[in-house]
């Protein structure tokens, strides 16, 4: 997947910058997403979406300030994870309707 991202960047300096960011922060971003979603595949998808967003805002990332970079990337992953969580929750509640099911509750006294 990294090769696909790098093919989207024209400048060799930006390519190496992106490669360094990807190598250094992808695990941290995965853990941020997994903590929210509790699902391996969804967390991986969030990391991929986050790096696409980073591609579009690569100039905003300051590698010199490591703490700022870490915060910036974790916020991207966190926000995308919450978006995925809300979408999945909304899809689940729309696909399940209590009106479709009849519930029978037995009287414990007979």
Q: What tens digit of pLDDT does each residue of 23-82 get? A: 999 999 999 999 999 999 999 999 999 999 999 999 989 889 999 999 999 999 999 999
pLDDT over 70 (residue 110):
no
Rounded Cα gap, residues 9 and 58, in angstroms: 10
At 27 the pLDDT is 98
pLDDT band at 1 (very low <50, low <70, confident <90, very high): confident
Tokens 């590698």 sit at which residue?
Answer: 63
Q: From the centroid of its chain, how far is CA 85?
A: 9
Question: Which two structure tokens, joined as six digits, stand for 8?
Answer: 């989207």
At 103 the pLDDT is 55
Q: Which of 66, 80, 89, 68 is nearest to 30 (CA)?
A: 80
Contact 61, 17 (CB under 8 A): yes
pLDDT band at 99 (very low <50, low <70, confident <90, very high): low
CA 50, 56, 58, 61 torsion: positive or negative? negative
Which string of DSSP letters, residue by residue, matches 34-72?
HHHH--HHHHHHHHHHHHHHHHHTGGG--TTSHHHHHHH
More confident residue, 8 or 82: 82
Residue 10: burial class (beta carbons within 10 Å; 0-12, 13-18, 19+): exposed
């Amino acid at each position: 997947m990294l090769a696909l991202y790098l093919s989207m960047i024209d400048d060799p300096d930006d390519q190496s910058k992106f490669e360094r960011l990807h190598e250094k922060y992808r695990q941290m971003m995965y853990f941020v997403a997994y903590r929210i979603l509790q699902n391996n595949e969804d967390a991986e998808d969030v990391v991929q979406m986050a790096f696409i967003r980073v591609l579009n805002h690569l100039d905003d990332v300051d590698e010199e300030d490591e703490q700022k970079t870490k915060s910036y990337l974790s916020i991207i992953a966190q926000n995308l994870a919450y978006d995925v969580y809300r979408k999945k929750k909304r899809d689940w509640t729309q696909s399940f309707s209590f009106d479709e099911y009849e519930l029978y509750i037995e009287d414990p006294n007979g």
